[in-house]
Amino acid sequence: MGWSTLPLALAQHLMFTLASVAIGLVLGVSLGIALSRRPKLSGVVLPILSVFNTIPGIVFVGLLLLVLGMQPVTVLVALGIYATFPILKNTYAGLVSVDQQYIEAAKGCGMSPRQCLLRVELPLAMPTIIGGLRMSTVYTVSWAVLAAMIGQGGLGDFIYAGISSNDNGLILMGAIPAAILAFILGSLVDLLQKLAVPKGLRKGGSGV
Query: What are the residue ranges spanned by the domains of the chain?
Result: 3-200
Task: Mention every residue, 6+ apart, whose C-beta is less than 8 A from residue 133.
Answer: 21, 25, 86, 87, 90, 189, 192
Give the homologous superfamily in CATH for domain 3-200.
Answer: MetI-like (1.10.3720.10)
- Separation in Å, CA 198 to CA 78, 92, 99, 125, 201: 34, 20, 17, 12, 6
Query: What CA–CA distance (Å, rounded) separates 158 from 12?
Result: 13
Cβ atoms within 10 Å, residue 10: 18
Q: b/e per residue, 56-66, with b = 16+ CB within 10 A?
A: ebeebbeebbe
pLDDT the model gives residue 201: 59
pLDDT of residue 21: 96
Short-list 26, 195, 189, CA closest to 204: 189
Give, as one character, the DSSP assignment of residue 38. Answer: -
Q: What is this structure's pTM? A: 0.87
- Tens digit of pLDDT at every position of the chain (208 positions): 678 889 999 999 999 999 999 999 999 999 999 999 988 888 888 898 888 888 888 888 888 888 888 888 999 999 999 999 999 999 999 999 998 898 889 888 888 888 999 899 999 999 999 999 999 999 999 999 988 888 888 999 999 889 888 889 999 999 999 999 999 999 999 998 888 776 665 554 444 4
Nearest to 48 by CA among 88, 12, 19: 88
pLDDT reported for residue 203: 56
Closest among 110, 107, 124 to 36, alpha carbons compared: 124
pLDDT value at residue 204? 47
